[in-house]
Amino acid sequence: MSPPGARGRHEVVVRLAGGEAERDAHFRVRHAVFVEEQGIFTGTDRDEHDDDALHAVALAGPLVVGAVRLRPLDEPGLWQGDRLAVLPEARRLRAGAPLVRFAVRTAAERGGALMVAEVQVPNVAFFLHLGWERVGEPHEHRRIAHQRMRIPLAVADQERAAGP
């Protein structure tokens, strides 16, 4: 099947991975991006948090083209989003932004008050565009410059109440 965007455009649907096939596809996207493309991880990017985190997928038609992971941290109300990835051939087709919005909305719906993420510096503008703010200065994580960012989930709630 041709990559999404090569012929025609599918509307992107984001949802929690439903069943084993979508969960596997979620991990395949992460592997393609973080192990093969970026080389941030060797072998696998899966870790102990995958045992209880929520795994979301972005679908363009029948194809899973994106992934994000989210989980509550120990501090009450605090959620972390990570492993945001869109396959290279599906970038800029508006899969990334809905994945981030879905993670934020899902955390808010589950009682979260604040979501944080360690964002690769070249993506800071993307997150600012989506209403996130910087926390502190950039730092190195896995040999790559990252910026801690956050978004208050009450804001996400208000936006949801205000409609699309």
Contact set with ligand COA (CB under 6 A): 33, 84-86, 91-97, 119-120, 122-123, 125-126, 129
Minimum Å gap between C-beta 28 and ligand COA is 14
Residue, CB closest to ligand COA = 96
Nearer to ligand COA, 64 or 84 (CB): 84
Nearer to ligand COA, 73 or 154 (CB): 73
Nearer to ligand COA, 141 or 154 (CB): 141
The Cα–Cα gap between 15 and 119 comes to 22
Minimum Å gap between C-beta 43 and ligand COA is 18
Q: Are strands 78-86 and 139-141 parallel, antiparallel or unpaired?
A: unpaired
The secondary structure of the chain in percent helix, strand, coil, rounded to multiples of 5, reads 35, 30, 35
Contact 26, 67 (CB under 8 A): yes
Radius of gyration of the chain (CA): 15
Nearer to ligand COA, 77 or 122 (CB): 122
Minimum Å gap between C-beta 142 and ligand COA is 11
The Cα–Cα gap between 54 and 95 comes to 18
